[in-house]
Amino acid sequence: MDTPYPKPITPTQTRIGWIGIGVMGSAMASRLLSAGYSVTVYARTPSKASQLQSQGAHLANSPFDVAKTSDLVFTMLGHPADVRQIVLDNENGLLAGLNPGGVMVDTTSSHPALAREIFAAAREKNCWSVDAPVSGGDIGAREGKLAILAGGDGGVVKWLSPLFDVMGRVTYVGNAGCGQSCKIANQITVGANLVGLSEGLVFAEKAGLDVRQWLEAAREGAAGSMVMELFGERMIGRDFRPGGFAEYMVKDLGMGVDVVEPESDKVVVLPGAALSKQLFSGMVANGNGKLGTQGLITVIERINSKTHDRCHNMARVRR
């Protein structure tokens, strides 16, 4: 079978696998369960699957077992190295278990070259892969309002649309790897917005303004953004619970700033992204890599000789 989409996707017919059930992955898988789909999950720490199991998810012992019992498998992992290990570098891994005609969808923020490598390996097995990283944070994942940036075969992406519609809005952006390139560009923009929002809040407070009043005023003008909507109140309230870890932003920005692909003759100079990466790296160096990206404001505060009680911050994180 050249393409999977002659068989329609429906809750009664389609078996879904899910690998990676952290903050984002768990929320996305939960939405599919709520929509009536059968979902089998794999977690390195099985206890993390308890909430999804209470919704009806099945727990598998390995990525291989997830793939073997699924028509299509989603992954939401931390780093490209995790994706490689789960998908390619393990004889008991996902691709080894995927049945001919099966589809894997990697929603991890990963590397474009790895996405192309996985696509080629999947085609050798008469399977398909789609790189479909997402943007919108934990709120977008829970509410089904993620921006899904899909690369791969356009027909396969269209076939997957009933599932993407449960999680958010999908945009097909081109061949394999293009979804990941789109996400890197997205993160470059998000990083710059987080720097600007952090500096705006610190400046407003130093100037003696009511920061919530400033936020309400600014969101109606050109400074208003989705970053402001998602993170403005969280920054003011010292709520640094992660939708995405700060250390992952270092990884994402690094793929734009540091990595040069051998087959590309294009050189892109990104001074703003380099600065954003440096500031997020400062968060990691301060021991805050597992905080949400909105915690970037703590770096700007440190630069301005302002600190908050770390215990208070971490108490908010653990709630």
Q: Indicate whether 22 and 162 sit together in one domain.
A: yes
Which H/E stretch holds residue 117? helix 112-124
Among residues 176, 208, 237, the one where a domain terminates is 176
pLDDT of residue 122: 97
The answer to whether residue 1 is domain-embedded is no
Specify the amino acid at residue 213: Q
Q: Indicate whether 135 and 253 sit together in one domain.
A: no
Q: Indicate whether 43 and 133 sit together in one domain.
A: yes
Among residues 176, 201, 229, the one where a domain terminates is 176
Cβ 156 vs Cβ 124: under 8 Å: no
What pTM does this model have?
Answer: 0.90
As a whole number, mean pLDDT of residues 297-306 equals: 92
The one catalytic residue among 68, 158, 183, 266? 183
* For residue 262, pLDDT beyond 70: no
Which H/E stretch holds residue 167? helix 161-167
Residue 168's CB: how many other CB atoms inside 10 A? Answer: 20
pLDDT of residue 92: 85
As a whole number, mean pLDDT of residues 10-27 equals: 95
- The confidence band for 260, taking pLDDT boundaries of 50, 70 and 90, is low
Sign of CA dihedral 65, 85, 138, 180: negative
Q: Indicate whether 71 and 204 sit together in one domain.
A: no
* For residue 5, pLDDT beyond 90: no
The answer to whether residue 5 is domain-embedded is no
Structural domain boundaries, residue 258: 182-318
Among residues 176, 201, 224, the one where a domain terminates is 176
The answer to whether residue 122 is domain-embedded is yes
DSSP label at residue 108: S
**Count of domains forming the chain:** 2
As a whole number, mean pLDDT of residues 290-312 equals: 82
pLDDT of residue 121: 97
Of 20-24, 127-131, 315-319, the one with minimum mean pLDDT is: 315-319
Q: Look over the chain and give the mean of its residue pLDDT values, rounded to a whole number.
A: 91
Is 183 designated active site? yes
Q: Indicate whether 19 and 141 sit together in one domain.
A: yes
pLDDT of residue 313: 45
